[in-house]
Structure 1
């Protein structure tokens, strides 16, 4: 997650590259006379080069006065008329400066008669070159506005990421107590009729909590670690199952063992299967299958008999599935399919994910 200081440091780190581009562009412009020298062309002398560089030098003044001062002071503060007036004064001053310099610098074309009507030449000079200066000022505005837009978009993206990170962290904080709450309920039900099995369940729970506390702090974990956690959880739940419940599991990472996955994604689906799929008086079943079709696509399919809980049983309060949907939308937007629903006397949940590679 990037804070404002990190964004500013990244922005500052790009400035040397930007100035390098500026130097290259101005270097090409100032070096134009040397690019067109040849046998038939006039040789570049000090006097002719000085007369040439006056114009790009004035362009540079107009560009950077706009970029470093006028745009931020007037245009970004919605004082367009002050910006326009300042540019009129700036461009007029630049053109007067160029005209005067051209008059007083030595002219390499000796023998050329001086114009008799200098005011007309000055007027034509101003009129002919005003468009060029306006283009330079416009280029400065375009580049400055583009850089500003990219910075605003970068800040906006960072703020959206921070919001998503905060929401994800909040969902995780809800998930951990929810998982612990349901597991403790299961262990509590064992104490009354099998204290030894309850003791073993507490030991298994300590292993699960170690994973939840240490691995859940990461955004993504290796798939095989997550599947080991699910296998341990299922074995913990198996301890309290009555004999008439048929539990079948097939959990294999296959080619996707090196892929990364967000932790605790499937636990809500498995918890619901044990919560609603087990009856102590009727035959019931839970079928859990988690398989990888290839290196990137994983499918979790859970089918169980369905015995809805009464209104008095509020354990979990149904936050598991809604929490899962929000996490999937934050972590796997456009890369998941979640289907849950009752089919007659059964309940079926299917989650398909496109995983991340290990080096991503």
Structure 2
């Protein structure tokens, strides 16, 4: 948590520095761009430079008044009427003031001898032209204020969206941890019941089952606390579980497991997702008086990880409350939290309800270690 906060603080500082650099660069371009309109031989004199730089400076005043005060202090705090009143007053006064400043500076710094071209002589006062220039200035100031307000609103929206995503991720992480904690007692309950039944008729096999269970518990206690584990480690855990279950199932049940996963693969997977499907297969796929089967096929390539299970279907009646369906419910929740929109889960019955199938396909190649 401390490392996360430190990284977040560093990211915020980098963002602020980048934002300052962008502001400086944009205003430098705006301030320097009027110089491109100088003709060859023109001299840098006050009567030319002052009007050229006055508009960008006025735009800066409007921008940062809106950016630093009007938008965050009024608009974002719900005082919309004050925001619009002050903003409209600001752009009008700045547009009018800029025009007055142009007239004053023109009269003070204008030198007729420097403007030999007849089109550059001082124009006569004209009310219509004055109004047009004022409206032009007001328009420029309005656009500047709008850009400032939208910049703050964009930053605020981005900040809110980031906070929302972090809250959602924290919620999902809490839900996933809660589900993992539920898996452990559910799995242990079923397994211990199996060992308890085994002690009644074969003590030696019960001891072997306890040793097998200890290896499985190691996987649950350590690997299950991680978000993702190596696929091959998860497959070893599944093999141990099946070996444990084989001790007490009747000989009329055929168990077949096929694994086609490269041994050196670094593919990872959310732990204890497939085991719930396998538990369900043993729960509903074994009949005491009839032949039954469980077929498990696990394979992976660069595009997806798959677990396909078929078993004979002997559904429990309504009075059998063993398991209560917790396992399959957890599978759906964990798949959605760990692989949102990156998985498919097909399940159902076929052959007149005699066969039950449950196939999970996970499409997420980003979990491969580099």
2:202 to 194, 198, 201: 194
Residue 219 of structure 1: CA displacement? 1.4
Mapping 1:66-215, distance limit 5 Å? 66-95=66-95, 97-99=97-99, 101-102=101-102, 103-104=104-105, 106-111=108-113, 117=125, 125-215=133-223
Q: 2: CA distance between counterparts of 1:128 and 1:62? A: 15
1:340 to 314, 335, 347: 347
Counterpart in the other structure of 2:361? 352
Residue 185 of structure 1: CA displacement? 1.2
Provide Cα deviations, 1:303-331, integer angstroms capped at 9, x if missing partner. 22222334454222111111101111222
Paired positions, count: 358
Counterpart in the other structure of 1:306? 313
Counterpart in the other structure of 1:319? 326
Q: 2: CA distance between counterparts of 1:49 and 1:255? A: 75
Q: 2: CA distance between counterparts of 1:312 and 1:188? A: 22
Q: Secondary structure of the residue that 1:14 maps to in structure 2?
A: helix
Residue 194 of structure 1: CA displacement? 0.8
Mapping 1:15-34, distance limit 5 Å? 15-34=16-35
Q: 2: CA distance between counterparts of 1:271 and 1:118? A: 91
2:284 to 276, 279, 292: 276
- Structure 1, unmatched stretches of 5+, are none
- Structure 1 residue 65 and structure 2 residue 65: aligned? yes
Whether the aligned pair in 1 keeps the contact of 2:258 and 2:298 (CA below 8 Å) is yes
Q: Secondary structure of the residue that 2:51 maps to in structure 1?
A: helix
Counterpart in the other structure of 1:221? 229
- Higher mean Cα deviation, 269-278 or 48-57? 48-57
- Structure 2, unmatched stretches of 5+, are 116-120
1:328 to 315, 321, 335: 335
Q: Secondary structure of the residue that 2:44 maps to in structure 1?
A: coil
Provide Cα deviations, 1:35-56, integer angstroms capped at 9, x if missing partner. 34453x6233355323321221
1:10/1:290 Cα in 2 relative to 1: closer, same or farther (>3 Å)? Answer: same
Provide Cα deviations, 1:146-205, integer angstroms capped at 9, x if missing partner. 222222222222222222222222211111111111111111111101111111111111
- Higher mean Cα deviation, 6-15 or 202-211? 6-15
1:116/1:347 Cα in 2 relative to 1: closer, same or farther (>3 Å)? Answer: closer
- Higher mean Cα deviation, 217-226 or 83-92? 83-92
Q: 1: CA distance between counterparts of 2:234 and 2:241? A: 11
Q: 1: CA distance between counterparts of 2:198 and 2:309? A: 25
Q: 2: CA distance between counterparts of 1:101 and 1:8? A: 45
Provide the aligned C-alpha RMSD in A.
Answer: 2.8
1:295/1:114 Cα in 2 relative to 1: closer, same or farther (>3 Å)? Answer: closer
Whether the aligned pair in 2 keeps the contact of 1:249 and 1:289 (CA below 8 Å) is yes
- Higher mean Cα deviation, 92-101 or 152-161? 92-101
Q: 2: CA distance between counterparts of 1:127 and 1:348? A: 74
1:349/1:104 Cα in 2 relative to 1: closer, same or farther (>3 Å)? Answer: closer
Whether the aligned pair in 2 keeps the contact of 1:256 and 1:295 (CA below 8 Å) is no
Provide Cα deviations, 1:46-76, integer angstroms capped at 9, x if missing partner. 5532332122111101000001100122222
Provide the TM-score with structure 1 as the length reference: 0.89
Residue 81 of structure 1: CA displacement? 2.3
1:301/1:121 Cα in 2 relative to 1: closer, same or farther (>3 Å)? Answer: closer
Q: Secondary structure of the residue that 1:316 maps to in structure 2?
A: coil
1:340/1:110 Cα in 2 relative to 1: closer, same or farther (>3 Å)? Answer: same
